[in-house]
Structure 1
Amino acid sequence: MSNLTKTPATRSNGSAASPTATRGPRLSGLNWLIWRQHRAGFWTLFAITALCVAWLVYQRADLINQITAQGWPDSASDTWLKGAHPQRFQLVGFALGFIPIVLGVFLGAPLLAGDLENGTAKLVALQSVTPIRWLATKLAISALVVIVCTAALSVAFGRWWGPVKHVPTVLEWSDGAAFDNTGPVPVALALFTVVGGVAIGMLLRRSLISMVVTFGFAVVVQLVWSYLRLNLGHVLTITTHKGIGHDTFPQMPEGTLVIDQSYISGSGQTYGWGTCVAHGMPEKVCTQKFDLVGWSVDYLPMSQMSSMQWFGASILFALTAAVTVFIFVRGRKRIV
């Protein structure tokens, strides 16, 4: 890019002021140009994030006041559960789940498609800055904005949910409203969706169609992720041999997600928990016929949540890196 001629600032006595005396740290060159080009969108994201974080901080303070007044944390959850407002957690978690889609459609898709459509990319190709550096700067600044915003929301939502996270009736930890909005997952999902949108925009070279296709891509990513989420953990099994009554069901760790439960016979064979009902037998007769001696329960403990999140995020980060490499390879060969 051509450099702008700068006139040195002067003091009131007519002497020239040094740059350090009149200017603080600020963006310059290509970084300044990219920021200025997209500053409206970036500042909008920062402003919305700040408002959301402030609201979440307020909600956490209100939650602590409500449940403390009803006996938390010394009493059973039944006594203070109403003050936790479970519906509010579910609605907010559901709304936050749309953030990767929104960022992919409105930030990722038009990031390059807009420049390719209106001719800005051709202008860049005529300057001293290489297309690869232009691409790198665009992606780096956009990625930094996405990381800052989603990480701030992740921390704020996690702190709000933290005091009641062990109570499944407030918000199940394995549900997308909790799992996808805390830890590194929201950052990883948003980055992958945004970079995917950038790649789509580079290929289609039209903003509107790129946004439509990116929307479909982002929805598919969310659906696949929700299907694979529980596969990130290591399913544990607990068995008992004290009969099949409800009072003999094994005691599970707090916050445990039960994947499957079945009866176990004396020979070690398992039968579905609805076996007796399916055969229309009383429990006593069913127990004798199938030699049922206890329960076999497959479950995921809440203690695996963090490791599952980082494992899933690492997969998404790897996919993001692969798409980024594709963008640079494609950009080196043909960007205009």
Structure 2
Amino acid sequence: MSLPTLHGPRWAELRLHRTALLTGGALVVAALAYTGWLRWAARAYPEPTGACTSHGTCETFLGFPSARDLLSISMSNGAVALLLVPLLIGVFVAGPMLGREMESGVYKLSWTQSVSPTRWLATKVTTAAALAAGGTLALMAVFRFGASGMIGVRWDLHWADRGVYETTGPALVAYALLAVAVGTLAGLLVRRTLLAMAATGVVTGLVLLLLGNARWHLVPALTRSKPATGDSSWVSMWSTNSFVMDQGVTNAAGERFYPGQCLPKPIPGYSCPTDTKVVSAYADYHPRSHFWYVQLIETGIVLALAAAAVYAAFRILRRRAA
């Protein structure tokens, strides 16, 4: 790999890890080629031919009803798989990029080559952050290319789904930068390659999990209610493009409960009000317009955590280099 515009420590860093960089670039190219083929196939074979029923037969595309179905499933699975990108980035930074040097003592040689400890670490952090952000953005672009016109249309590509949500906003880039920061801190603290990699994977994974479960509580959900009618038309009182947090019915006193658990008689183990006469229905939901509010708040939280981890890493470095 040749980058003649780079010199000094950054050039040496890229040369040292050029195999990993080339592998990552090859994966992006392969993902783009596969996605491009799926898009072509979805246009060429958009719908199945024949009677696709239990008593009929139809021609399928590689075992799927149509190429469009294969594209949708691939994009849905690919979006979830992209959540592993921050974990892989953090593990690489904590292990081969930093932890291995700390464990073997190579960093001491670097510090004697007219490179200060602060510059040595700053070079590693900025290089890793730039590559992590660039690679993540490239993969996000591939996903957007493949899922263009399908998000919010296909049932398995809802804008609020885990994976789709992160990949269509700045949150995934923020998680990638957090992984770089956590990997840097773990490499300096643990100073053992495998232990630092394990610690980084666990911490980054926990942040992804915890914020993923809490994100829809960062912005208050809207509530809509409607008088219950006998034809159950109140069930569809919100937009199908909304993300429903909770739904049920209320009695005359305004108490909420779920009709399936309380009617016609309470199911043992569930809490039901004394009066189970349905008066109205309710839904707590997030409209599509809340997407960017949640994205920006979550991204800010993740970047703040990343900044704190980087600050802690430089503090530790200064103490050890003193």
**Normalization by structure 1: what TM-score?**
0.78
Question: Shift of residue 152 of structure 1?
Answer: 1.1
Closer, same or farther in 2 for the Cα pair 1:117/1:48, shift >3 Å?
same
Q: Does the aligned pair in 2 maintain the 1:164–1:170 contact within 8 Å?
A: no
Q: Does the aligned pair in 1 maintain the 2:87–2:204 contact within 8 Å?
A: yes
Q: Does the aligned pair in 2 maintain the 1:244–1:294 contact within 8 Å?
A: no
Q: Give the structure 2 partner of residue 297 of structure 1.
A: 283
Closer, same or farther in 2 for the Cα pair 1:315/1:57, shift >3 Å?
farther
Which SS does the other structure have where 1:263 is aligned? strand
* 1:60 maps to which of 32, 39, 52: 39
Q: Is 1:188–2:174 an aligned residue pair?
A: yes
The answer to which of 120-129 and 137-146 deviates more is 120-129
Gaps of 5+ in 1: 1-23, 71-78
Distance 1:217 1:321 in 2: 15
Q: Give the structure 2 partner of residue 214 of structure 1.
A: 200
Which SS does the other structure have where 1:26 is aligned? coil
Q: Give the structure 1 partner of residue 242 of structure 2.
A: 256
* 2:156 maps to which of 170, 195, 203: 170
Distance 1:81 1:268 in 2: 48
Q: Give the structure 1 partner of residue 296 of structure 2.
A: 310
Q: Does the aligned pair in 1 maintain the 2:242–2:285 contact within 8 Å?
A: yes
Cα deviation 1:155-186 (Å, max 9, x = unaligned): 22123223111135222322212112222122
The alignment of Structure 1 onto Structure 2 pairs a total of residues equal to 299
Structure number, greater radius of gyration: 1
Distance 1:332 1:302 in 2: 46
Question: Shift of residue 143 of structure 1?
Answer: 0.7
Cα deviation 1:220-246 (Å, max 9, x = unaligned): 223223322322343111111242642
Q: Which amino acid aligns with 1:54?
A: A
Distance 1:152 1:215 in 2: 22
Q: Give the structure 1 partner of residue 21 of structure 2.
A: 42
Question: Shift of residue 275 of structure 1?
Answer: 5.2
Q: Is 1:246–2:232 an aligned residue pair?
A: yes
Distance 2:40 2:292 in 1: 24
Gaps of 5+ in 2: 50-64
Closer, same or farther in 2 for the Cα pair 1:310/1:65, shift >3 Å?
farther
Question: Shift of residue 29 of structure 1?
Answer: 2.0
Q: Does the aligned pair in 2 maintain the 1:260–1:299 contact within 8 Å?
A: yes
Question: Shift of residue 219 of structure 1?
Answer: 2.7
Q: Is 1:121–2:107 an aligned residue pair?
A: yes
The answer to which of 101-110 and 113-122 deviates more is 101-110
Q: Which amino acid aligns with 1:300?
A: H
Distance 1:293 1:118 in 2: 71
Q: Does the aligned pair in 2 maintain the 1:188–1:313 contact within 8 Å?
A: yes
Which SS does the other structure have where 1:249 is aligned? helix
Which SS does the other structure have where 1:292 is aligned? coil
Q: Which amino acid aligns with 1:102?
A: L
How much identity, in percent, do the aligned residues show?
A: 28
Distance 1:161 1:108 in 2: 33
Q: Give the structure 1 partner of residue 138 of structure 2.
A: 152
Q: Does the aligned pair in 2 maintain the 1:93–1:181 contact within 8 Å?
A: yes
The answer to which of 184-193 and 166-175 deviates more is 166-175
Question: Shift of residue 100 of structure 1?
Answer: 1.4
Distance 2:119 2:30 in 1: 34
* 2:185 maps to which of 199, 203, 208: 199
* 2:91 maps to which of 93, 105, 111: 105
> RMSD value over aligned CA atoms?
2.9
Q: Report matched runs for 1:266-305 at 5 Å.
A: 266-274=252-260, 276-277=262-263, 279=265, 290-305=276-291
Question: Shift of residue 324 of structure 1?
Answer: 0.8
Closer, same or farther in 2 for the Cα pair 1:280/1:201, shift >3 Å?
closer
Q: Give the structure 1 partner of residue 307 of structure 2.
A: 321
Q: Report matched runs for 1:223-242 at 5 Å.
A: 223-242=209-228
Q: Does the aligned pair in 2 maintain the 1:110–1:198 contact within 8 Å?
A: no
Closer, same or farther in 2 for the Cα pair 1:95/1:334, shift >3 Å?
same
**Normalization by structure 2: what TM-score?**
0.82
Which SS does the other structure have where 2:248 is aligned? strand
The answer to which of 112-121 and 164-173 deviates more is 164-173
Q: Does the aligned pair in 2 maintain the 1:265–1:292 contact within 8 Å?
A: yes
Distance 1:264 1:117 in 2: 62
Q: Give the structure 1 partner of residue 56 of structure 2.
A: none
Q: Does the aligned pair in 2 maintain the 1:263–1:293 contact within 8 Å?
A: yes
Q: Does the aligned pair in 1 maintain the 2:41–2:68 contact within 8 Å?
A: no
Closer, same or farther in 2 for the Cα pair 1:151/1:270, shift >3 Å?
same
Q: Does the aligned pair in 2 maintain the 1:171–1:177 contact within 8 Å?
A: no
